[in-house]
Each structure stands twice: as C-alpha cells, then as structure tokens.
Amino acid sequence: MVRGKMKAAVYRGPSRLTIEEVEIPQIGEGEILVRVRAALICGTDLKTYLRGHRLVKPPSPFGHEFAGEVAATGRGITRFPEGMSVVAVNSAPCNVCFFCKRGQHNLCEDIFFNWGAFAEYIRVPARVVEQNVHPIPEGLSYKEAALVEPLACVVRGSEAAGIELGDSVAIAGGTGPIGLMHLQLAFHRGAKEVIAIGLRDERWAVAEELGVSHLIDAGSEDPVERVLELTEGRGADVVIESAGLPQVWEMALKLVRKGGTVVFFGGCPSGSKITLDTHRVHYDELTIKGSFHHTPRAVKKALDLLAFGVVRAKPLITHELPLERLEEALLMMKEGRAVKVAILP
C-alpha cells in the first residue's frame, strides 16, 4: 500500500482546473495503483475543460491517457508485479450486456470512464486490470505507450473506413492528433495519397513530417473545391471526419466520390444536427459510418502498431510540461500550438 498525499489535477467545471494535494487513492481486490510517468492530453480532455462532459461531474479527477509503473497491487493480482511498466486505457466493457455479447464492446451499456491520469498516482479498477492493462513493450517510452488509448479508437475508425490499395483518403481535421494517426494508418493500409484538411498552424509541419500528400488550409481555401481538383473531379474514395464539428460533418459528405465511404469519427457537441442531401446518399450510394471508442481487441492492436513502429507516436507528442502547467498545455492544444502535450507529474 502507498499512503500519503499526492499532487493531482481537479476539474472544477468549464475552464476551471486546480492542482491540489489530495490523498493517494487506495486500492481494493483486483486493482492496481500506477505511479503515472506520462499522461497525454486528449481532445476529449480539451472539450471537457472548455465546455464540460456529461460523465464528468465536478469536482472530479481529470485525464485518462497515461502510462507508468505499478506502485501497489490489490489482492489477486499476479500478472502485474510492483515496479512493472504498464499502460492502461480508460475503460473496459462488462462482457455481459446485449452489446458486449454481440461483440460490440465499444457500445457496452455499462461503460465507465476512469479519470485521474493528471496526478502522481492513479487507481486502475479491476475490470480494466483484467482486460485493458498491458506491460509496455520494449523500446516504447511511457509517453509513446500512453498513445494507445486514442490510437485504439483510431484503429476501429480506420477499419470502418475500409481503405483499399490505391485509395485517395481525405481527412477533415487532418492536422490534429487523431487526424495524424488516421493519416499513418491510411498509408499503412495502402492509400496512394492522404489529403489533410486543417487550419494552418504549428501542427502543419508534423503532417508534413508524416508524409501527408496534400495539405488544405480550411482557413483560406475551399476544401471541397480543392479535393475535387485533386481527385479528377470525383472526390476522395474515403473521407474521415475527425474535427467533431457539424459544419465539417456536412462538408465531409461533399468531399467523397460516388460509391465512397465517409466515417464520422469526431463527436460533435450533444444536440448537434446536420442536414444531408438524400440524393447524394441514395443515387451516389454513399456509405456513412460512425465510429466511437475502443474495444480490448483494438487496444491490443494499437499497442502492437506502436511497438512495431507502424504508427509513430514521437512526432505527435510535440511538447512536455509538468503537472502544474496543465492549463497552459490545454490552451496550447486549443490554439493549435501543440499536437499533443505530455504531462509529466
């Protein structure tokens, strides 16, 4: 058991965050306590910070992408001895509900989120320990391993996109961390080109480093016109929306070719509605798919993709800051000055 106080971020409502001394969480049977070595800021964290989150009731622990060392183990833990370097994701399915039984674990009716990664220690609940904790493969740093959670979501989105050899893939929100992971997987799946649409900011250079074929600045160019120009007037074979904005969802439907696929990956503010051209969907036979969250299978795949270097984490983690500067780090991401920031408690 580890007892005493620790530093931790406490979410106190939109745009209100404090760093406080709190009790180190105590663990029970089947649980582990992890000494956090790196925690990454996710788009979900940023959205929660700016406008709240239906599942985060302030005051609340904060942050969910992390890796570290096992600091203590509850009764029954044998696979993760103290001192082992591990990575864990933020949830795990129940395996007994209707959706779990259909293999749609990401839609589990009893899904929960484990917050509290922006702290010196985090408690990992038994269900996550059983299904979604992994030793960190050799060669991966803590901050690289912590990318496994968002990448697991991207793995599912990329599978839904069904990218084939030689496809043109357009990614709206293409210069954010999620877009840049989609970009890497699209090339790996055999896309001949990846067109990224975003705002021209400091993240532009990272997209270039990762081999993006074309960058479209949504701030000064018309993305629909440019994508049609780049695809002989047809539109992209596959379009992935990862901005999470209703106007970008509508735009995504104009970027895709007849018979193509659109994946809505970015979650919009709740209550958002879009209009869609029924003619386009019917006569042009569009395939439209949503993609949300991850499954234990996708988590394992994501870790393998990181371990084998198929997805490079390093270029995406552009900054590192101590826990005390968490708010500053959130603003850096909001303003596009960082792709992803690692918080080192």
Asked if residue 46 lies in contact with residue 330, where contact means CB atoms within 8 angstroms, the answer is yes
Question: Distance between alpha carbon 1 and the CA centroid of its chain, in Å?
Answer: 32
Answer yes or no whether residue 67 interacts with Zn ion by CB under 5 A: no
- Give the residue with the Cβ less far from Zn ion, 93 or 244: 93
DSSP β-bridge partners for residue 19 = 9
Which one among 6, 27, 34, 42 touches Zn ion, defined by CB under 5 A? 42
Q: Tell me the site size for Zn ion, rule CB under 5 A.
A: 9
Going by C-beta distance under 8 Å and a sequence separation of 6 or more, which residues neighbour residue 218? 172, 197, 198, 199
Q: Is 300 helix (H, G, I), strand (E, B) or coil?
A: helix
> 293: closest CA among 13, 64, 14, 116?
64
Exactly one of 89, 100, 145, 313 binds Zn ion (CB under 5 A); which one?
100
Instruction: Decide if residue 97 touches Zn ion (CB under 5 A).
Output: yes
Instruction: Mark residues 140-179: x for contact with Zn ion by CB under 5 A, - for none.
Output: ---------xx-----------------------------
Give whichever of 72 and 330 is closer to Zn ion, judged by the CB atom.
330
List Cβ neighbours of 233 (8 Å cut-off, separation of 6 or more): none
Q: Residue from 94, 224, 245, 274 that binds Zn ion (CB under 5 A)?
A: 94
DSSP letters along 76-101, please?
T--SS-TT-EEEE-S----SSSHHHH
In the complex with Zn ion, the residue whose CB is nearer, 42 or 299, is 42
Smaller CB separation from Zn ion, 65 or 144: 65
- For residue 244, give the nearest of 272, 221, 218, 217 by alpha carbon: 272
> Shortest distance, CB of residue 21 to Zn ion, whole angstroms?
26
Measured from the CB of residue 248, what is the shortest distance to Zn ion in angstroms?
Answer: 19
Residue showing tokens 């530093």? 7
Question: Which is nearer to Zn ion, 149 or 241 (by Cβ)?
Answer: 149
> Which of 108, 148, 151, 169 contacts Zn ion by CB under 5 A?
108
Q: List residues near Zn ion by CB under 5 A.
A: 42, 65, 93-94, 97, 100, 108, 149-150
